[in-house]
């Protein structure tokens, strides 16, 4: 189902006294001292293992997530298009061209 380079979205549950601007489904906690909410995390698949994925976060961290986790899903086509800046850059399998190669290319 998943392949390296795929963009995925993970919905993380968070708790904080001050939810950020991307917080969704904000609910006050029972004691009234904070909020519980969800935040979408935009990740790229680095490696597919037998029952889990190794993903890269926007800040370059690597995480391992179970493929059966209901909070993980593939990004929809319109999310890839409209929210592309929220995903980490795609990994580069090749080296950057040298100065001489760039000059020769044009």
User: Does some domain include residue 19?
Assistant: yes
User: Does some domain include residue 18?
Assistant: yes
What pLDDT, on the 0 to 100 scale, is given for residue 17? 94
Domain containing residue 38: 7-89
User: Does some domain include residue 50?
Assistant: yes
User: Does some domain include residue 2?
Assistant: no
Alpha carbon separation from 69 to 11, 26, 51, 62, 95 (Å, rounded): 10, 22, 10, 17, 34
pLDDT tens-digit readout, 90-102: 655 434 455 555 5
Angle at 55 between CA 53 and CA 56, to 5 degrees: 170
Instruction: Give the total number of structural domains in the chain.
Output: 1
Lowest mean pLDDT among 32-36, 41-45, 50-54: 32-36
pLDDT at 21 over 80: yes
What pLDDT, on the 0 to 100 scale, is given for residue 78? 95
pLDDT at 67 over 70: yes
pTM, to two decimals: 0.78
User: Does some domain include residue 105?
Assistant: no
User: Does some domain include residue 67?
Assistant: yes
């Amino acid at each position: 189902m998943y392949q390296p380079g795929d963009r995925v979205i993970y919905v993380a549950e968070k708790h904080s006294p001050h939810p950020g601007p991307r917080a969704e489904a904000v609910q006050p906690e029972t004691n009234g001292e904070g909020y519980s909410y969800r935040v979408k995390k935009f990740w790229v698949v680095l490696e597919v293992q037998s029952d889990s994925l190794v993903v890269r976060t926007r800040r370059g961290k690597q995480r391992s997530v179970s493929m059966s986790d209901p909070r993980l899903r593939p990004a929809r086509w319109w999310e890839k298009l409209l929210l592309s800046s929220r995903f980490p850059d795609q990994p580069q399998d090749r080296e950057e061209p040298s100065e001489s190669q760039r000059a020769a290319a044009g």
